[in-house]
Amino acid sequence: MTPEDPSSNRFRILSPLEFWGKTCLSLVLTLGDFVRFFVAILAGLLRGMDRFGRREMLSQMFDLGTLSIPVVMLTGFFIGAVLVIEAYPQFHALGLASRLGSVTVLSVVKQIGPVLTGVMLAGRVGGAMTAELGTMRVTEQIEALRSMAADPVRTLAVPRVLACLVMTPILTVFSDILGIFGGWLIAVHVQGINNDQFWHFARVGVDIYTINTGLIKALFFGLAIGAIACYKGFRCGNGAQGVGRACTEAFVSSFIVILILNLVLALLLTNIYVMVWPNQPPIL
Amino acid sequence: MIQPTTDTLAQPIIRFADVHKRFGSLVVLDALSLDIPADRTTVIIGPSGAGKSVLLKHIVGLLQPDSGNVYFHQQRINHLSERQLEPIRKRIGFLFQMGALFDSMTVGENIAFPLRHQGIKSERNIQQVIGEKLAVVGLSGSEKKMPADLSGGQKKRVALARAIAMDPEVVLYDEPTTGLDPIRADVINELILKLKEELKVTGIVVTHDMASAFKVADQIVMLLNGKIIAQGTPQQIKTMENDDVRHFIEGRANAADLKALHRL
């Protein structure tokens, strides 16, 4: 049975039990199908790529990675700046305005940088990658690959997922740098916080583990964004409407998964920090 | 059903045995049994939605039957995994209805794809094959063009060049002449004949173009609602009395369609 049975009458009013039954069944079927697809991608990642795959990966890294750098930097800068503007009055009232350095850098590196990059990329990837793969499916290009004894997951999905996996942490670094710069600009040049104090607390508040926390998150976000975008493209419905719907679904699903992963990884990585360095507080 | 009379000398290379296929509630293939003789061209005709393209996709395992079996050289192939199907797919060329050229690659790269994928390393050999196959379809010198810059007919010819790049023993043509001008369509017909006569290629052609069907076919099979309603040589099909067959090959609307039109 498929999640969307064309024989079912779309306009029939379902009883609540029927509705929940159908919803749960469709959810379980989609999830199972996605897990199988994801396992095929992981297997493909381990098997490596052929020449065509490597070329696809480089072109995707450029399209989705390099071309995203300006927009990721711009959003990073503005969010970093706004963060300081909003936080300053509270910290100033407590007499802790000089501590804004650690708050800014910590928020940017651990949360804002990776999450913002993930969301920006989910939008771009949902729009570009899912639409491209969806169109390929609709115009029988994916079937043509299979008919030529090529594995579409290995040829198309693996290079794209790998491109997302590599580029998300790199873009996060750009977002982090501009976020910190935006925060610093407002804190030091608008709110008049001492430059040395800003950087002193920034250094104290952030260690290498914290920076890695952000980058590990970015790695998982990249994997999720790439896999979801490819899955939605490969399973896209017919016609222009099918492609449009697949793109929207890819973005919404990636966005939700990013938020869930962010929560799970924040809990996990903070607990690991406490386990490894029990005498140090996780946040200054 | 009208009694089939086919060339019994030729060995079947592909065999459908009681194949059923449905999409949701729509029955596409209904207990279909068919032998495709080797080194001959079988043309499958029938109205749109009769299950012709679905039939082709079963031969390379792009679709699996709900029940029944598909055989290639006496080997059952409908239960094979994607990886097990690879050696069979390498022996079959598939010309898709819309061409299905890879948009991100040039014409040359599209034709080279099956060669490179199958591990042919020598760039000189690859370029030679690209040149030869493009010449065959009358598009020499368009290696560097992108599919988006080609007309519908040109795309189909490039797709045909790609389908025959590996010199397959079977070529599946899904509407090879649709969208081509009559002269170019006849070139494709000649090409199908040439591949059969010179390279002993088994051809399976799905088409609505009766001129093409009568020209290239050794055997014609007519499908209607997932069932074979007529099978025979072009000459036998031409002289059949069955109404559905006559309407189709003469391109005439049937009584029900005309009645619906009169209500307008």
Strand spans (E) along B192-234: 202-206, 219-224, 227-232
How far does the CA of residue B92 sit from the closest CA of chain A (Å)?
8
- A143, B26: Cβ pair inside 8 Å? no
Instruction: Rounding to the nearest 10 degrees, give the CA dihedral for residues A31, A35, A38, A40.
Output: -130
pLDDT computed for residue B181 by the predictor: 84
Q: Which of B26, B87, B100 sits opposite A140 (nearest CB)?
A: B100
- Judgement on whether residues B20 and B133 belong to the same structural domain of the protein: no
pLDDT at A284: 45
Find out whether A172 and A214 touch, Cβ atoms under 8 Å. yes
Size of interface A-B (CB pairs under 8 A): 66
Distance separating alpha carbons of residues B264 and B257, to the nearest angstrom: 12
Task: Give the domain extent around A151.
Answer: 16-276
Domain count across chain A: 1
B4 is a domain residue: no
pLDDT digits (tens, 9 = 90+) for B46-93: 988 888 999 999 999 999 999 999 999 989 999 999 889 999 999 999
In this prediction, residue A9 carries a pLDDT of: 52
Q: Which residues from B are below 8 Å from A148, CB to CB?
A: 89, 94, 113-114, 117
Q: Look at residue B96 and tell me if it is in a domain.
A: no
Pairing outcome for strands B219-224 and B41-45: parallel
For residue B153, give the amino acid letter. G
Identify which of B98, B103, B104 has the shortest CB distance to residue A140.
B98
B232 and B177 together in one domain: yes
Q: Do B24 and A149 touch (CB under 8 A)?
A: no
Chain A: closest CA distance from residue B84 (Å): 10
Instruction: Locate A268 and state its tokens.
Output: 């996990």
Mean pLDDT of A121-137: 89
Give A90 to chain B, closest Cα distance, Å.
53
Give the chain B residue nearest A149 (alpha carbons).
Answer: B86
CB contact under 8 A, B116 and A7: no
Q: Is A149 on the interface with B (CB under 8 A)?
A: yes
Is A224 among the domain residues?
Answer: yes
CB contact under 8 A, B60 and A147: yes
Residues 45-74 of A with CB under 8 A from B: 50-52, 56, 59
Identify the pLDDT of residue B32. Answer: 92
| Same domain, residue pair B205 and B74 | yes
* Nearest neighbour of A7 by CB, restricted to B25, B90, B97: B25
| Residue A6 Cα, gap to closest chain B Cα (Å) | 6
Domain identity same for B57 and B186: yes
Which positions in chain A touch B57 (Cβ < 8 Å)? 143
* Domain-located, residue A251: yes
Per the listing, tokens 């079996």 go with B69
C-alpha span between A65 and A167 (Å, rounded): 5
Percent of chain A with pLDDT over 70: 94
Residues of B in contact with A2 (CB under 8 A): 24
A134/A188 Cα distance (integer angstroms): 48
What is the Cβ-side half-sphere exposure of residue A234, based on CA atoms within 13 angstroms? Answer: 25
Contact A139 B100 (CB under 8 A): yes
Residues facing residue B202 across a β-bridge:
B170
**Cβ contact, residue pair A144, B104, below 8 Å:** no
Same domain, B53 and B130: no
State the CATH number of the domain containing residue B34: 3.40.50.300
Q: What is the pLDDT of residue A230?
A: 96
Q: Give the closest-approach CA distance of B79 to chain A in angstroms.
A: 16
> Which residues contact residue B199 at a Cβ distance below 8 angstroms, ignoring those fewer than 6 apart?
B167
Rounded distance, CA B65 to CA B161, Å?
29
Is A139 part of the contact surface with chain B (CB cutoff 8 Å)? yes
A90 touches chain B (CB under 8 A): no
Residue B131 shares a structural domain with residue B247: no
Q: Is B24 in Cβ contact with A5 (below 8 Å)? A: yes
Q: How far apart are CA B260 and CA B238, in angstroms?
A: 28
The verdict on residue A172 lying in a domain is yes
ipTM for the complex?
A: 0.87
pLDDT exceeds 50 at position A216: yes
List pLDDT tens digits, range A71-106. 999 999 999 999 999 999 999 899 888 888 898 999
Q: What is the pLDDT of residues A253-272, one digit of tens each?
A: 999 999 999 999 999 998 88
Q: Which of A6, A51, A148 sits opposite B114 (nearest CB)?
A: A148
Residue indicated by tokens 């699903």: A253
Answer whether residue B63 is part of any domain. Answer: yes
pLDDT higher than 80, residue A13: no
Other Cβ atoms within 10 Å of B91 Cβ, number: 16
Among A residues 172-201, those touching chain B with beta carbons less than 8 Å apart: none
Q: Are residues B118 and B247 in the same domain?
A: no
Indicate the helix (H) or strand (E) that contains B215: helix B210-216
Considering only CB atoms, which chain B residues are within 8 Å of A52? 113, 116-117
- Considering the domain boundaries, does residue B149 fall inside one? yes
Shortest CA gap B77–chain A (Å): 14
d(CA A264, CA A140): 39
Domain assignment present for residue B7? The answer is no
Between helix A158-184 and helix A16-47 the angle, nearest 10°, is 100
Cα B211 to its chain centre, rounded Å, is: 16
Claim to verify: residue B251 and residue B179 sit in the same structural domain:
yes
Is the Cα dihedral B79, B80, B85, B91 positive or negative? Answer: negative
Residue in chain A closest to B86 (alpha carbons) equals A149
Higher pLDDT, A205 or B105: B105
A7 found inside a domain: no
A31-40: pLDDT as tens digits = 999 999 999 9
Cα–Cα distances (Å) from A169 to A126, A218, A256, B39, in that order, read 18, 5, 19, 56
Is residue A176 within 8 A of residue A113, CB to CB? The reply is: yes
pLDDT digit string, tens, across residues B170-228: 999 999 988 788 888 888 899 899 889 988 899 999 998 899 999 999 999 999 988 99
C-alpha span between B230 and B81 (Å, rounded): 33
Q: How far is A142 from chain B (nearest CA, A)?
A: 8
pLDDT attached to residue A281: 60
Total count of domains within chain B:
2
Angstrom distance (rounded) from CA B125 to CA B106: 18
Cβ of A140 within 8 Å of Cβ of B57? The answer is: no
Let me know how many helices (H) and strands (E) chain B has, helices first: 10, 10
The answer to whether B104 contacts A59, with C-beta atoms less than 8 Å apart, is yes
- The answer on B158 and B178 residing in a single domain is no
Q: Is A238 on the interface with B (CB under 8 A)?
A: no
Q: Is residue A6 part of a domain?
A: no
**pLDDT tier for residue A245 given thresholds of 50, 70 and 90:** very high
Average pLDDT, chain B: 88
In a domain, B2, yes or no: no
- Residue A281 included in any domain: no
Task: Clarify whether residues B141 and B59 are in a common domain.
Answer: no
State the pLDDT at residue B7: 47
Say whether A144 and B92 touch across the interface (CB within 8 A).
no
pLDDT at res. B104? 87
| Domain that includes residue B147, residue range | 102-167
Q: Do B98 and A6 touch (CB under 8 A)?
A: no
Is residue A4 in a domain? no
Which chain A residue has the Cα nearest residue B97?
Answer: A140
CA distance B253 to chain A (A): 29
pLDDT-based confidence at residue A3 (cuts at 50, 70, 90): very low
- At residue B250, does pLDDT exceed 90? no
The model's pLDDT over B115-150, given as tens digits with 9 standing for 90+, comes to 988 888 788 999 999 999 999 888 888 899 999 999
Q: Are B219 and B140 contained in the same domain? A: no
Q: Is residue B82 part of a domain?
A: yes
What average pLDDT does range A131-152 have in this prediction?
A: 92
- B184 and B65 share one domain: yes
User: Taking 70 as the threshold, does the pLDDT of residue B3 lie above it?
Assistant: no
Domain boundary among B167, B186, B205: B167
Cβ distance A147 to B94 less than 8 Å, yes or no, reads: yes
Give the per-residue pLDDT at A1.
41
